[in-house]
Chains A and B, each alone.
Chain A
Amino acid sequence: MRIEAESLGGGILKINLAGRMDVQGAQDVDLKFTGYTANQRAVIVDMSLVNFLASLGIRTLLLSAKAVSQRGGKMVLFNPDPGVTRTLEVSGIDTLIPICRSLDEARSAVSG
């Protein structure tokens, strides 16, 4: 699984994930993900190239979202595919970490 981070300006960090976020995938990115989100208050996680999300991957997302929230910030998920969206919905995570379908929507959500 691949992970990279880019600054969108205005204090917004975009984390791009790609691949299969199963147990192995979550282990691949867990440390970097936590490191990238440390001290951030506005995080957009681009999920568009993630083709599988297991509950261990959700754990990675949830831990960082909680940490960002505790700092008074916000983390959102950008454009997950239909299969990943279904997993987020059945696990109830979509009610805790909002799903945004456009980058503009995501920027507004984390800037608010």
Chain B
Amino acid sequence: MLGERLVIGNKVGELRRMSQWLRNSAVAADISQDLICLLDQCANEAVVNIISYAYDDGKHHDITLELNRTANGACLVIRDDGKPFNMLEAPERKPPGSLKDAKVGGLGIHVIRRLMTRCDYRRENGINVLSLEARDK
């Protein structure tokens, strides 16, 4: 089945359009609101990372999102032509023991790992392809 598809530019101003698209697509693809909330959270974290770190040429780039219903959930595939980056290789975040010791950044990847049932990354013809899968309870 062909999924729902969206192309956004590498600007934070595009994030709300992405979230709205996810919520509209949930209805079209028969995906539960709960799963879409999870995917919206993780898409925000992943795409902010792409916008912030994948490019250093100051030019416009397309980021493509594709949402598919799976047998027992939903899968969001995010493609960008930025620098190769496999977030799954990032070190696990250690839980801080106190406010004083807590690091302020680096939470996005941790949140994605915890919320998604499965994450996959591959580099394909110069494109980062990140698949985020959430399953119905």
Contacts and interface: CB of A to CB of B under 8 A. Distances in A.
A12 interface: no
Interface size class of A (residues with CB under 8 A): 20 to 34
Contacts of B95: 92, 95
Contacts of B115: 86, 90
Q: Of A24, A55, A91, A92, which is in contact with the most chain B CB atoms at under 10 Å from its CB? A: A55
B98 interface: yes
A62 B104 contact: yes
A95 to B, nearest CB: 7
B73 interface: no
A63 interface: yes
A109 interface: no
Nearest to B96: A96
A87 interface: yes
B18 to A, nearest CB: 10
Contacts of A24: 12-13, 15-16
Given A23-B48, A55-B107, A95-B95, A87 B41 contact: yes
Given A23-B15, A90-B115, A54 B41 contact: yes
A96 B98 contact: yes
A65 interface: yes
Contacts of B108: 54-55
> Which secondary structure dominates chain B's binding surface?
helix
A83 interface: yes
B80 interface: no
A91 B107 contact: yes
Interface string B29-53: 0000000010011001100100000
The 8 closest A-B pairs by CB, nearest first: A55-B107, A90-B114, A55-B108, A69-B99, A92-B95, A23-B12, A54-B44, A96-B99
30 contacts: A20-B16, A22-B16, A23-B44, A24-B15, A54-B48, A54-B108, A55-B48, A55-B107, A56-B48, A58-B107, A59-B105, A59-B107, A62-B99, A62-B102, A62-B104, A65-B99, A69-B99, A70-B100, A83-B37, A83-B41, A87-B41, A87-B111, A90-B110, A90-B115, A91-B107, A91-B110, A92-B95, A92-B96, A95-B95, A96-B96
